[in-house]
Amino acid sequence: MDQWINEPIVMDLLSIIRVAFRALQRNKMRAALTMLGIIIGVSAVVAMVSIGQGAQAAVQAQIDSIGTNLLFVSAGAQNVGGVRSGTGDSGTNTLTVEDLDAIKREVPSVAMVTPSVTTRGQLVAGNANWNTQIQGVSEQFPDIRKWAVGSGEFFSDSDVRTAARVLVIGQTIADNLFAGGDPVGQEIRVQNLPFRVVGVMARKGQDQQGRDQDDIAFTPYSTVQNKITGSQRVQVAFVSAVSADATYTAQDQITELLRQRHKLGTNEPNDFTVRNMSDIAEAANETNSTMTLLLACIAGVSLLVGGIGIMNIMLVSVTERTREIGIRMAIGARSSAVRSQFLIESVVLSLMGGVIGILLGIVVSLAIPRMLGWPTLISTMAIIGSAVFSAMVGIFFGYYPARKAAALDPIEALRYE
């Protein structure tokens, strides 16, 4: 017996890949159209995920800029007995400056506290005037909110004690009232009372909802309470814990202290609300993750449709090339060689589509912030994921047509017209 019979023929992979490429080259238009399905699917996945991740990153950045050790204490409670509709609303009067002093004094995990009493007012400087939000806070506000003063300085604790008529204004107000001049040391009249501008906050820009964060003026809370509104109410307070880890402890301790001070019985609900930034960040992240997943899933469906397109074309191709398959088998191609050829054709189609789709997705992701103003973040995971997924689409949807090709009988295939 000849020895060659025990030596099965092994075709090198490179040759099979070259054969597949040559076959695709023979029908460029069809190959391009088939790839289009995958290109659209993959680029949609990459673009959608980068939009989602961009939104997530923007929220995270904003939260980080506020500080993760931040807590909000507000008067009133949400949804208690379904009666009180919100926190810090005009009807509630449950949070006082004394409560806040007690928090600062008695809760060890709290570093800084500032009340926040907000009103709106007309600011007049010379001939110019501007309607804006006036926020009464303590001298610790810049440290708590991590918002630096741009020029001049923030007011001091003695300004707070004396309810001094001092203002620290945002950049938008500076631009509108002083038009390029230095506002520090200038006079602004609020409800006909003269205020001295002691500082201008650094520019902050728009927030997530597109509101101008620089259109605001800060003054001591005591000044708002005594000189502007005449009301002693505190709507909200910002509390900063000693560390990010201490926020939950701080939250519990503040709740306990306020319940004690407000003399609430064990069964009575809180008449205030304490929230920490981590909870808010988590909620925001969760919303964004859900959105990202939803967008990716919708885009994934188009990738699946692209895969079905590949299967469709490969099935047509196998039928159309029955004679070619017969020739290849007659001159010595094993079934496995024919199967590999068709499988590689479909993998090449889907992988090339995947690569082009990734590039297109990156281009789209870079174009979206310019064109729509949405932040995007190109995700490496999405890119790797789409590349792997498109190769899998090629194998999965190419396998059935390839098996069909390999199962052909050479005699019948050669006879096929």
Partner 1 sequence: MQAVQEITRATPAVVDAMQIPDARPVIELEHIHKTYTMGDVQVHALRGVSLTIREGEFVAIMGASGSGKSTTMNILGCLDRPTKGTYILDGQDVSEMSKDERADIRSRKIGFVFQGFNLLSRTSALENVELPMLYAGVSSAERHARAMESLASVGLAGREQNHPNQLSGGQQQRVAVARALVNDPALILADEPTGNLDSRTSVEVMEIFQRLNRERDITLILVTHEADIAQYAQRIVVFKDGKIRKDYQVEHQRNAAEELRSLPPIEEDEDEEEEE
CA-to-CA dists, residue 81 to 74, 77, 78, 270, 272, angstroms = 18, 10, 9, 11, 14
Residue 329 engages partner 1 in binding (rule: CB under 8 A): yes
Beta bridge partners, 272, equal: 75
Residue 5 engages partner 1 in binding (rule: CB under 8 A): yes
Residue 26 or 146: the one with the smaller Cβ distance to partner 1 is 26
Which listed residue (84, 145, 204, 328) binds partner 1 by CB under 8 A? 328
Residues 6+ apart with CB under 8 A from 108: 242, 253
Residue 244 or 337: the one with the smaller Cβ distance to partner 1 is 337
Restricted to residues 351-410, the positions that interact with partner 1 (CB under 8 A) are 410
Which listed residue (13, 15, 91, 269) binds partner 1 by CB under 8 A? 15
Residue 335 engages partner 1 in binding (rule: CB under 8 A): yes
Site size toward partner 1 (CB under 8 A) is 30
Q: How far is the CB of 332 from partner 1 (least distance, A)?
A: 3
Residue 333 engages partner 1 in binding (rule: CB under 8 A): yes
Residue 17 engages partner 1 in binding (rule: CB under 8 A): no
SS3 295: helix
Residues 6+ apart with CB under 8 A from 341: 16, 19, 20, 23, 328, 402, 405
Stretch that binds partner 1, among 7-15, 144-152, 163-171, 204-212 (CB under 8 A): 7-15
- Virtual torsion, Cα 169, 170, 172, 173, nearest 10 deg: -10
Stretch that binds partner 1, among 142-150, 198-206, 282-290, 323-331 (CB under 8 A): 323-331
Q: Which helix (H) or strand (E) holds 337?
A: helix 335-372
Q: How far is the CB of 62 from partner 1 (least distance, A)?
A: 59
User: Which residue type occupies 374?
Assistant: W
User: b/e for 115-154, b at 16 or more Cβ within 10 A?
Assistant: bbbbbebebbbeeeebebebbbbbbbbbbbbebebbebeb
Closest CA to 52 of 403, 394, 377: 377
Question: Rounded distance, CA 169 to CA 158, Å?
Answer: 19
Question: Rounded distance, CA 112 to CA 283, Å?
Answer: 25
Residue 414 engages partner 1 in binding (rule: CB under 8 A): yes
CB atoms within 10 A of CB 349: 29
Q: How far is the CB of 328 from partner 1 (least distance, A)?
A: 7
Q: How far is the CB of 343 from partner 1 (least distance, A)?
A: 16
Contact characters 25-54, partner 1, x per CB under 8 A = -x----------------------------
Which listed residue (66, 257, 293, 337) binds partner 1 by CB under 8 A? 337
Which listed residue (33, 298, 363, 411) binds partner 1 by CB under 8 A? 411
For binding to partner 1 (CB under 8 A), which residues are involved?
A: 1-2, 4-5, 8-12, 15, 19, 22, 26, 323-324, 326-337, 410-411, 414
